[in-house]
Structure formats: structure tokens, C-alpha cells
Amino acid sequence: MLGSKKPSGIRCLLLMGIVSSSSGWAAQCEFNVENEWNSGFTSSVKITNDGEQTITGWQVGLAYSQGSTVTGAWNSSFTGSNPYTFTNASYNQTINPGSSVTFGFNSQKGTPGVNAESPILSGVCDTDSVVMAPEAVIEQDVVEGQIPLTVTFNGASSVSQNSEISQWHWNFGDGQSGSGAETSHTYESAGSYQVQLTVVDDNGESSPASVTIVATEPEPENGMCEFFVEHEWNSGFTGKVRITNQSPNTANSWTVIMAFSDNTMVTGTWNSAYTGNNPYTISNASYNSTISPGNFVEFGFNAQKDNNQGDVTIPSLSGFCDGVAPPPNTPPVAIVSVSETSGNAPLTVNFSGSDSSDADNDPITFNWTFGDGGTATTSEATHIFTEPGDYQVQLTVSDGNSESLAEVIDIRVFDTMTGEPQDYQLDSANSALWFVSTKKLHTLESHTFTEIAGELTTQGDASLRISLDSVDTGIATRDQRMREHLFDTATFSETEVLLSFDAEQISAMAVGTSEFLTVEALLNMHGLSVAVSASLRVSKLNSGSLLVVNTQPIIINATDFNLDAGIETLKELAGLASISYAVPVNFHLLFQPQAAQE
């Protein structure tokens, strides 16, 4: 069969001659298999005039004995149906003494998979001098296996009808060769190898045959398995098993034996198929049978607990599993509580990490860093911050396998107990300033500015800067009209408020108290400076910050800043009968102390 004994391209050499009773011509004919496949083959016949007379016109008779049939020919025409008669073409009918012509044909095998059949030739061919080349036959004990793969080859079944086979030449397809009727060879590397045997008889005739040997990587016998509980409820749970191939070779299939020490019952699996009833035999699905080196596959299952209120029973895993890896260590959870996060120096703060935990019930250790060089290693710690500033406190908990960090706790310490003034910076994100306009006599609309900045200095100077380009009325078209026609931001992009205050009075305020102040401020807008009066409430918050809020609206008149022409333009553009010239302004401003930045 072709599967175990593959013939070569040249399977046999057939030398025949028949003295034609009609023509008197005799020739030597050579049959050759050019190509072969499972169901057929391509072959040729070479006719050599070994006589002394010119052959003019020739015919070759061809007969198969094993059911092969001719399906087509070239350099000749043919008639009949086994036997066949091949007749010369017009261009090759003449064969001078010592010359040759060749014709070819395709044949379909009588039995697919067998070797190509050698026909019986007649006609111009001389049958009294039939010489057949030897036929090489390869026999081997295996055709596929894992490396190192040793294969025993035997060519003793090769035959020569006219002589004795005297030489066997082996090419093992991996660069190695051998000789002798029987030999063996070991393949050390995985691959597909074409093995060829060439036999030579005493007449010097030769013929090859070939066979394919497939050497594969050895499959790993086992892997590492990990069991996980994905979900759990009173009466059952969802489990998962991860199978990791830790070998250097690919696993092409796997089977896991899973057994529970109690009456836990598997009710279904996925990414696998299962049989049995504790123990359960769980095998790969068609799509996850292969596990390449270093990779893993997972299968899942639902199970009913032995005890509806009990814990999950960890199964034993065997089969492909070399062992069960312990579940991965769960890092501890670090949780910090703190008595306070801000205050005046010296500030005493109590810290607790006692709510920290470890899911694996491993003992945990604590390591505190307080941001000023101080540390502690207990679950609860008290620390005194003696200097004003901003400090980041960090708790690290460890279970001996992994560490976890708690969120950073920010501690702010002020020096207000000394009575020394501080610089403050406006917290723009937590501050707001807005004004209200009236149109159509009774329609009120509130507008704001999204970009404001300001400072309070230790010298008692306060400033507030308002970006007029940041006006926000909620309507983009109206915002642009205000920038262009009212504020003229191309020329006057900013409004500034300046005033002086008693810095020591503010510094002496206790946390949680408020002061009510009436101040005179200078408002610079549209190229003009106008004095305005404001009633304020200043409160010192727990964080040490200052909240400044106006207690009465501050009335700003457009005519004081030559904005009346702009208002008229806005009225015309909006088609309004009236827009108020005087607008009330309100604000709440949060200033943060800057002690930590000094």
C-alpha cells in the first residue's frame, strides 16, 4: 500500500522487444513511472531502434493485469480498452537506427492506494529481451512516534526478476544515510522525514522507493492544577480549575480526576465534558485540548454542597494534574482610621489600622510612616506633629507573602497658635462669584465667572482677579456678546479687586470662629478704578482655611465703568426693551493657608 511503501518516481525499467510479423522491425522499449498519486500515475514508454533498419511507423501494444486503465496519452494516439494500441503521431513515426522516441500517458489505478502497475508491452517492442529493473520495497516497524524515535527499516522484500539485488542504499531524510537490507535509525528532532531506499541489482539496474516518518515532541504527562471558588451560596458554589502546562512540550489532550472527601455533587461543567460520580472524570472539549508550554486552560463547574450551610470542600485533583497548587495568596487589606486630619501645631493625631484584615487569616504586621521621619509598627499609633506643614501618612500591612498599602492620609498642621500671620491662596475649585442681571423689568438671570484667582498676604494685602473672558451665562452666544460688546475683553481681559485687612486679627482667630468685617475695596475694571464697600463674614475652618462670604449683595453700576454703551448694544442685539445697569454681586471665597509651602 502507498501508506507504508511509497514507490519512487521511477518505479521500474521495462526492456522488451517483439519482432513484428507485419513490419519485421524490432525495438527496445523502456517503461517509466514519472509521477504517482493515490488513485493514478503518469508514465512513459521510450522506444529505441536497436536494429540496422529505419522504422517507419510504429505501434505498441499495452496490457494491464491488475485493472488499471489508460485515461489519456500524448506524442501518440491510442485505441482499444485493455489491451490498448498506441500508434505514432505524424511527427515521430520515423525512428532511425540508434535513435529513440517517447510517448506518455496517464492511468487510473484499479485499486487506489496500491503501487503503480507495470504493463505488458508488445507490438514494435521485442519480447525476447525483457529486462525489468528491480522493485524497491520498504518495510518499517513504525511510521510515527515521539522523539527520540528509533525506526527499523527492512528492504529485504525488494525484488529483481532478472537478477539478484546486491546493494541497498538508505537516505533517512535528516542528513543521515545507511546501507544493507535491514537497518535502524533514531530521529532526535521532531519533524516529518522522507526516507528513500534505492536498490541496485547485479545488472546495475536501480529503483527507489520512499516512505514518510513523522517524529513528534513527547507530550507532557501532567501539569499543575489550581482550584478556585468563583461564587458561593448557602447550598452550593461555582468552582474553577486552571491547568497549566509547565513542561517544554505541548499537551494535545488532558483529563482531570476530581474527587471530594464528602458528598459534594457536581451538577454541571463547562469548557469540558465529565463522567462519573465522585470521583468525576473531566476531559477537554474539542476547542481546548491543546495546552502549549507555559500556557493554561480552565474549566468550570457548579456543585451542590454536602451541607447546605457548610464551607466549600476542596477537591483532590489527579489525572493530568501533577499536583494541586495552593490557592494564590490574597494580599491583606489595609484600612486606616484617624482622629483628625488638621489642626494647629503641635498636633496630636491618633491612627488605627485595627480594621485591616487578611482573607487567608495570615497574621499581619504593621508599618506606619508619618511623613516627618517618624514611624510605628503597632496596629494603633499616636503621633505628634510639632511643625506646621502638610504630611502624608502611609500604613503598610504585610501577611508575610505580600504587602498592601492603605490610602495616603493627608495631615495639615498650622502655626496659627503663634499669632503670626500666614499667606493664603484662593482655592478656585471651591470658590464662586456671580452677578444677577434684570431684563424685561422682571426677568432675573444669574451669571458667573469660571476663572478667578486671589491671595491674602501676611502684610494684610488682599487681591482678587476675575477673568472676564470666563463669563458664563449658560448661553454661548450671549457669552461672546458680553466679551465683545460689554467687557471689551480684547482690551480689558481682567477685573481686579484690591483691599487691605488686619492680618494679625485674622491670624488670631480660633478655629471654628467667624469675624464680621466691613471693608473698602478698590475695583479696577474697564480701565477705571472705583471704590466699593463690602460687608463680609470671615470664618476659620477646621482645616485652617478661611471662608470669606459677603453678607449683603455688592451693587456694581455699569455707568461707573463706562459700560452703559455696551449694555445698549446688548439690548439691541437681543431685541430687549431693557437691561438693568446696576447688578448685585455675591461670592463665597475659600482661601487655603500656605504654611506648608514655605
Q: Model confidence over 311-329: pLDDT tens digits?
A: 888 898 888 887 555 566 6
pLDDT score for 229: 86
- When the pLDDT of each residue in the chain is averaged and rounded to a whole number, the result is 86
Residue where a domain terminates, one of 101, 132, 163 = 132
Q: For 135-145, how does the pLDDT look when each residue is reduced to its tens digit (9 = 90+)? A: 888 999 998 98
Question: Is residue 522 a part of any domain in this protein?
Answer: yes
Distance (Å, rounded) from C-alpha 315 to C-alpha 263? 11
| pLDDT tier at 399, thresholds 50, 70, 90 | confident
And the C-alpha cell for 14? 521495462
Q: What pLDDT was estimated at residue 429? A: 93
Quick one: pLDDT at residue 25?
62
146 closest CA partner among 90, 191, 79: 191
Tell me which of 312 and 407 has the higher pLDDT. 312
Please report which confidence band the pLDDT of residue 369 belongs to, taking 50, 70 and 90 as the band edges: very high
Residues 229 and 259 in one domain: yes
Within-domain flag for 579: yes
Q: Based on the domain organization, do 435 and 542 belong to the same domain?
A: yes
Using the predicted structure, report yes or no on whether residue 342 has a pLDDT greater than 90.
no
Query: What distance lies between CA 363 and its chain's CA centroid?
Result: 37
Structure-model confidence comparison of residues 522 and 15, the more confident one: 522
592 and 481 co-located in one domain: yes
- Between 180 and 114, the higher pLDDT residue: 180
440: domain CATH number is 2.40.128.110
Does 22 score more than 80 pLDDT? no
- For residue 387, is pLDDT > 70? yes
| CATH code at position 186 | 2.60.40.10
Residue 17 pLDDT grade (very low, low, confident, very high; cuts 50, 70, 90): very low
pLDDT at 597: 38
Instruction: Give per-residue pLDDT as tens, 509-561.
Output: 888 889 999 999 999 999 999 999 999 999 988 777 899 999 999 999 999 99
The residue out of 384, 414, 444 marking a domain boundary is 414
491 and 592 belong to one structural domain: yes
- Average pLDDT of span 382-390: 90
* Average pLDDT over every residue of 445-459: 92
Q: Determine how many CB atoms are found less than 10 A away from the CB of residue 354.
A: 12
Co-location of 184 and 84 in the same domain: no
Query: Can you give the pLDDT at residue 418?
Result: 46
Residues 165 and 75 in one domain: no
pLDDT bucket at 130, cuts 50 / 70 / 90: very low
- Asked if the model's pLDDT at residue 12 lies above 50, the reply is no
Count the neighbouring beta carbons within 10 Å of the beta carbon of residue 272.
22
In the predicted structure, residue 310 carries a pLDDT above the cut 80:
no
Q: What is the mean pLDDT of residues 26-45?
A: 87
Model confidence pLDDT, tens digit, residues 56-104: 999 999 999 889 999 999 999 999 999 999 999 999 999 999 999 999 9
pTM over 0.75: no
- 95 shares a domain with 110: yes
Q: Is residue 51 part of a domain?
A: yes
User: What confidence score (pLDDT) does residue 3 get?
Assistant: 37
Domain for residue 53, yes or no?
yes
**Do 485 and 573 share a domain, yes or no?**
yes
- Domain-located, residue 438: yes
The boundaries of the domain holding residue 368 are 337-414
**11-20, 134-143, 179-188, 227-236: lowest mean pLDDT where?**
11-20
The CATH number of the domain holding residue 18 is 2.60.40.290
- Count of Cβ atoms closer than 10 Å to residue 529 Cβ: 11
pLDDT at 433 over 80: yes
Same domain assignment for residues 201 and 248: no
At 552 the pLDDT is 94
Minimal CA–CA distance to 594: which of 420, 464, 346? Answer: 420
Reply yes or no: is the peptide bond before residue 7 cis, omega within 30 of 0.
no
Residues 544 and 408 both lie in one domain? no
Cell numbers found for residue 397 = 500591612
CA distance 393 to 367: 11
Does 183 score more than 50 pLDDT?
yes
**Do 585 and 438 share a structural domain?**
yes
With respect to residue 56, please indicate whether it lies within any of the assigned structural domains. yes
State the total domains in the chain: 5
Assigned domain for 493 exists: yes
| Residue 332 lies inside a defined structural domain of this protein | no
pLDDT at 11 (0 to 100)? 34
Check whether residue 67 and residue 196 sit in a common domain.
Answer: no
Pick the last residue of a domain from 368, 394, 414.
Answer: 414
How far apart, in whole angstroms, are the C-alpha atoms of residue 208 and residue 518? 115
pLDDT at 205 over 80: no
Q: HEC string of 158-216?
A: CECCCCCEEEEEEECCCCCEEECCEEEEEECCCEEEEEEEEEEECCCCEEEEEEEEEEE
